[in-house]
């Protein structure tokens, strides 16, 4: 029971992480494309200014929960995807520092350096998460000692690259949509145009990736997966239709798409956590990769107490910073 609970909780943490950091990775990638001057670039960065570090903790918590509840999954996954994770971490490190440091000097060359790092640092995780998740569904070469022996290049197949493109586009669209909600004037107009184009391409790639996934031999619970991705396409389609006049609803529908596709992934994987392409005997499941029942029990109590509190104050933060960023505003970043 608790094994299932923790699998669901980790899925929830990833859903939260992808929705929240989805838009701030998106903003980090497209702000140079939708702004015409440095002031507008700063306005765009300030839309995520007070929120991004709180968002990133969703990843840190997901990582911690993975370690605590499924230590064997954590160990095999993180050592197996070693170089990809190094790339992602380098990206995340540069990104966090770039947001904080970019505005600390007024010279153009200083801004240019941090712009490059912020863009790259948002791009790498946005792309790599799709690649990683697609690999988990497709299966990776895990041997009897629970070691992934594939190496970096084996992570890249046409299917996993398509997965990467999908997450990249989803997050880009999410970022563009977020900017239409949080800004005014020309910056907002440019973001709106961007969001419309992006939503069309996400729809196409999501369709292709969804159909491909539905035909993977490794997929469990195919019917539920089909239902979830189907609903995902519908919400994305609705978002595309609504973005012109109702950006709030479009943003929510896009978030719903991220939630549905992420849950689709976890449903498709369940009860596996990592599928071995060598032999099904070497698959990691929520049972053989888990911590002992006592740890799961303790952690369940902690999670049930803390998660509602965390959610409450994070919602409060979003409420405090709900206003649009205007050109007249004092910009922190």
Per CB under 8 A, contacts with other proteins among 89-118 are 89-90, 92-97, 99-101, 103-106
Task: Please count the other Cβ atoms lying within 10 Å of the Cβ belonging to residue 89.
Answer: 12
By CB under 8 A, the residues from 142 to 201 that bind other proteins are: 143, 145-149, 152, 184-187
Site for other proteins in 263-292 (CB under 8 A): 291-292
- Interacting residue with other proteins among 36, 112, 193, 246 (CB under 8 A): 36
Please list the residues that pair with 183 across neighbouring strands.
Answer: 325
- Within a 10 A sphere around the Cβ of 221, how many other Cβ atoms? 16
Residue (17 or 251) nearer to other proteins, CB: 17
Instruction: For the CB of residue 79, give the shortest distance to other proteins in the complex, in Å.
Output: 4
Helix (H/G/I), strand (E/B), else coil: 81: coil
Residue located via tokens 């919602």: 315
Contact in structure between 201 and 49 (CB atoms under 8 Å): no
**Contact call for residue 302 and other proteins (CB under 8 A):** yes
Binding mask 38-77 for other proteins (x = CB under 8 A): -xx-x------xxxxxx-xx-xxx-xxxxxxx-xx-xxxx
- Residue 314 near residue 54 (C-beta atoms within 8 A): yes
Kindly tell me which of 104 and 281 has the beta carbon lying closer to other proteins: 104
In whole angstroms, how large is the CA radius of gyration of the chain? 20
Q: Which residues pair with 272 in a beta bridge?
A: 285
State the number of binding residues for other proteins (CB under 8 A): 84
Structure tokens at 192: 């709106």
Question: Least distance (Å) from other proteins to the CB of residue 98?
Answer: 9
The separation between CA 324 and the C-alpha centre of its own chain, rounded to angstroms, equals 24
Of 113 and 207, the one with the shorter C-beta distance to other proteins is 113
Q: Does 211 contact other proteins by CB under 8 A?
A: no
């Amino acid at each position: 029971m608790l094994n299932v609970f923790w699998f669901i909780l980790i899925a929830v943490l990833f859903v939260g992480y992808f929705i929240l950091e989805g838009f701030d990775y998106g903003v980090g990638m497209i702000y140079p494309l939708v702004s015409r001057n440095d002031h507008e670039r700063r306005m765009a960065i300030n839309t995520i200014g007070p929120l991004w570090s709180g968002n990133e903790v969703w990843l840190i918590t997901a990582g911690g929960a993975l370690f605590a509840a499924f230590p064997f999954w954590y160990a095999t996954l993180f050592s197996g995807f070693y170089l990809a994770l190094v790339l992602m971490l380098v990206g995340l490190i540069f990104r966090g520092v770039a947001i904080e440091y970019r505005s600390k000097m007024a010279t153009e060359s200083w801004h240019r350096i941090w712009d490059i790092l912020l863009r790259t640092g948002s791009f790498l995780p946005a792309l790599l998460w799709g690649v990683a998740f697609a690999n988990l569904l497709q299966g990776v070469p895990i041997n009897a000692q629970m070691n992934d022996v594939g190496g970096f290049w084996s992570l890249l197949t046409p299917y996993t690259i398509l997965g990467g493109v999908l997450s990249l586009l989803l997050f880009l669209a999410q970022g563009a949509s977020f900017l239409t909600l949080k800004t005014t004037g020309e910056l907002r107009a440019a973001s709106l145009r961007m969001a419309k184009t992006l939503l069309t391409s996400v729809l196409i790639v999501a369709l292709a990736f969804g159909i491909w996934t539905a035909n993977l031999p490794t997929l469990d619970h195919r019917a539920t997966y089909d239902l979830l991705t189907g609903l995902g396409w519908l919400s994305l389609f609705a978002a595309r239709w609504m973005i012109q006049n109702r950006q709030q609803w479009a943003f929510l529908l896009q978030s719903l798409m991220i939630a549905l596709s992420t849950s689709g992934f976890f449903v498709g994987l369940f009860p596996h956590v990592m599928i071995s392409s060598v032999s099904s005997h070497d698959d990691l499941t929520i049972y053989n990769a888990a911590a002992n029942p006592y740890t799961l029990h303790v952690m369940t109590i902690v999670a049930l107490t803390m998660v509602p509190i965390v959610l409450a104050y994070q919602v409060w933060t979003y409420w405090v910073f709900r206003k649009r960023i205007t050109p007249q505003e004092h910009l922190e970043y």
